[in-house]
């Protein structure tokens, strides 16, 4: 917003109709309302629906705005962030009436506004109120085409929360509280669509766009239905690791004992991000490995998760692995196909070092912690096509011989 608002008095004195017409669209409530009074004194009349919408909003003529229909939406969106609560409520009520009466023409506008309106300012109460009201209107419309925009807007707000925690701006606590509340509202809205949402989401899984499919999977996690559950289980076999990871996260939303077996199996996935997500979901519940093989995979996933969250590996995690000894060797050898790159910091008495390497390099380190019992796995790693892995395996073998 500019530091100073438009000079309404000067515009009126110069009969600057164009300038005053633009002032009706200004972010500042007072500027808009001063502009409409000046236009009235100049006996100006709107020449098209767009001008008419902004004029009527400044005049707070809600009845005529309802009759105007879809062209009134942009002006009403701005009015929903007015400084006066009564204006915000009337603007929201008017927008709702228009949307429910003209769903086909208003749905795209509502979805676009939801994803683009003042995301960075949404932590203030009036903008939060406008966002929430828009979501509720979409919920009342009950059109499944709104599901992806709803999820996209929720992800944008989540990203705002994430960046606040990275100290890009403050206050992070306020953003987190509002982000959680908004996420809950979006989930509730999607879930209330019921059968309409289920059929629409299953169809959208055929999309060729990876980003769309991930959004669909995220939305599926909000709907507790057996058909959705089965679709997510099938998706765990997808060739794309980001799709598999999203499916695991969505399954974690289900309060269903069946998910445990799928999460445990995903600890063996070839992509490290998938293993991290499986570990994160398993850690939400009081699950414990039932045998040494599961335990080894679980510890590796825990190490990967520690790197992701803390940027380092805790000594306690290494000790847990070493205590397994020979029992961990076979699962680690089978993990030498682990895909993806990792970065973490190691500390010594006098210095620290940033390590960047393929995720398989961490498996080599784990085998080296076990000692001579890991020799067969290290000998296999020497044949790896990646020279970094070859070198790490060779150096480790020299140390343990």
pLDDT at position 124 is 64
* Backbone torsions φ then ψ of 255, nearest 5 degrees: -90, 75
395 is a domain residue: yes
326 is a domain residue: yes
pLDDT at position 102 is 94
240 is a domain residue: yes
Query: Based on the domain organization, do 266 and 226 belong to the same domain?
Result: yes
Please report where in the chains the tokens 């629409």 appear, as a residue. Answer: 200
pLDDT at position 236 is 95
Q: What is the pLDDT along the chain (401 residues), one digit of tens a residue?
A: 444 679 999 999 999 999 999 999 998 999 999 999 999 999 999 999 999 999 999 999 999 999 999 999 999 999 998 999 999 999 999 999 999 999 999 999 999 888 775 443 455 677 788 889 999 999 999 999 998 888 888 877 766 544 444 444 444 555 566 677 888 898 889 888 888 888 888 888 888 888 889 988 988 888 878 888 999 999 999 999 999 999 999 999 888 888 999 999 999 999 999 999 999 999 988 889 999 999 999 999 998 998 888 888 777 777 888 888 888 888 888 888 889 888 878 776 667 888 788 888 888 888 887 877 778 777 877 887 878 778 878 887 887 76
Query: Based on the domain organization, do 380 and 315 belong to the same domain?
Result: yes
Query: Based on the domain organization, do 325 and 259 belong to the same domain?
Result: no
Query: Based on the domain organization, do 323 and 284 belong to the same domain?
Result: no
2 is a domain residue: no
As for how many domains the chain has, the answer is 2
Half-sphere exposure of 107 (CA within 13 A, CB side): 14
Here the CATH number for the domain that contains residue 241 is 1.25.10.10
pLDDT at position 165 is 43
pLDDT at position 374 is 78
Query: Based on the domain organization, do 318 and 396 belong to the same domain?
Result: yes
Condensed to tens digits (0 to 9), the pLDDT of residues 332-349 reads 888 888 898 888 787 766
230 is a domain residue: yes
For residues 106 and 94, what is the distance between their CA atoms, to the nearest angstrom?
13
Condensed to tens digits (0 to 9), the pLDDT of residues 262-319 reads 999 999 999 999 999 999 999 988 889 999 999 999 999 998 998 888 888 777 777 8
Compute the Cα dihedral for 395, 318, 376, 386 and give only its sign: negative
Query: Based on the domain organization, do 259 and 217 belong to the same domain?
Result: yes
Query: Based on the domain organization, do 277 and 347 belong to the same domain?
Result: no
| DSSP-H helix ranges across 252-291 | 259-266, 272-282
pLDDT at position 162 is 44
Residues linked to residue 339 through DSSP beta bridges, in sequence order: 271
DSSP letter at 145 equals G
Query: Based on the domain organization, do 345 and 380 belong to the same domain?
Result: yes
Question: Which pTM value belongs to this model?
Answer: 0.72
Domain with 333 in it: 311-400
pLDDT at position 121 is 44
Contact 102, 69 (CB under 8 A): yes
Please name the residues in contact with 57: beta carbons below 8 A apart, sequence gap of 6 or more: 24, 32, 65, 72, 75, 76, 78, 79, 91
78 is a domain residue: no
Query: Based on the domain organization, do 278 and 341 belong to the same domain?
Result: no
DSSP letter at 47 equals -
Q: Which two tokens mark 64?
A: 């005529």
- Residue-wise DSSP of 55-66: HHHHHT-HHHHH
Contact 377, 367 (CB under 8 A): yes
Contact 8, 34 (CB under 8 A): yes
CB neighbour class for 129 (10 Å; exposed up to 12, middle 13-18, buried from 19): middle
pLDDT at position 398 is 80
Please report where in the chains the tokens 């961990």 appear, as a residue. Answer: 328
Please name the residues in contact with 24: beta carbons below 8 A apart, sequence gap of 6 or more: 32, 35, 36, 39, 51, 54, 55, 57, 58
pLDDT at position 215 is 86
339 is a domain residue: yes
CA angle 365, 275, 208 (to 5 degrees): 130
The CA-to-CA distance between both ends of the chain, in Å, stands at 69
pLDDT at position 66 is 97
Query: Based on the domain organization, do 271 and 344 belong to the same domain?
Result: no
Query: Based on the domain organization, do 333 and 374 belong to the same domain?
Result: yes
Q: Count Cβ atoms below 10 Å from residue 313 Cβ, excluding itself.
A: 22
Query: Based on the domain organization, do 267 and 333 belong to the same domain?
Result: no
354 is a domain residue: yes
* E strand residue ranges, 26-149: none
């Amino acid at each position: 917003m500019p530091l100073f608002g438009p000079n309404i008095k000067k515009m009126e004195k110069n009969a600057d109709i164009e300038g005053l017409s633009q002032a009706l669209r200004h972010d500042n409530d007072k500027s808009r309302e001063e502009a409409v009074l000046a236009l009235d004194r100049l006996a100006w009349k709107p020449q098209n629906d767009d001008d008419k919408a902004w004029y009527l909003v400044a005049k707070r003529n809600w009845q005529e705005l309802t009759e105007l229909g879809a062209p009134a939406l942009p002006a009403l969106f701005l009015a929903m962030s007015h400084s006066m609560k009564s204006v915000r409520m009337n603007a929201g009520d008017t927008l709702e009436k228009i949307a429910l009466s003209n769903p086909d023409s208003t749905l795209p506008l509502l979805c676009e506004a939801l994803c683009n309106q003042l995301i960075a300012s949404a932590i203030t109460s009036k903008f939060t109120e406008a966002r929430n009201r828009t979501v509720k209107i979409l919920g009342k419309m009950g059109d499944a085409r709104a599901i992806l925009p709803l999820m996209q807007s929720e992800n944008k707000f989540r990203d705002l929360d994430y960046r606040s925690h990275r100290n890009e701006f403050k206050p992070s606590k306020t953003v987190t509280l509002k982000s959680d509340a908004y996420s809950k509202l979006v989930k509730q809205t999607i879930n209330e669509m019921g059968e309409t949402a289920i059929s629409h989401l299953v169809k959208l899984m055929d999309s060729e766009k990876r980003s769309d499919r991930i959004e669909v999977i995220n939305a599926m996690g909000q709907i507790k239905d057996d058909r959705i559950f089965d679709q997510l289980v099938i998706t765990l076999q997808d060739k794309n690791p980001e799709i598999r990871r999203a499916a695991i996260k969505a399954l974690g939303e289900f309060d269903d004992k069946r998910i445990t077996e799928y999460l445990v199996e995903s600890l063996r996935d070839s992509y490290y991000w998938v293993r991290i997500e499986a570990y994160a979901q398993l850690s939400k519940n009081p699950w414990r490995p039932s045998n040494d093989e599961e335990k080894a995979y679980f510890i590796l996933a825990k190490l990967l998760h520690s790197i992701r969250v803390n940027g380092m590996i805790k000594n306690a995690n290494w000790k847990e692995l070493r205590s397994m000894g020979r029992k961990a060797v076979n699962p680690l050898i089978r993990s030498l196909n682990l895909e993806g790159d990792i970065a973490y910091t190691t500390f010594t008495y006098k210095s620290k070092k940033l390590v960047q390497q393929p995720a398989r390099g961490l498996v080599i380190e784990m085998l080296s912690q076990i000692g001579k019992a890991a020799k067969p796995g290290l000998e296999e790693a020497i044949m790896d096509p990646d020279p970094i892995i070859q070198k790490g395996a060779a150096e480790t073998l020299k140390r343990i011989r």
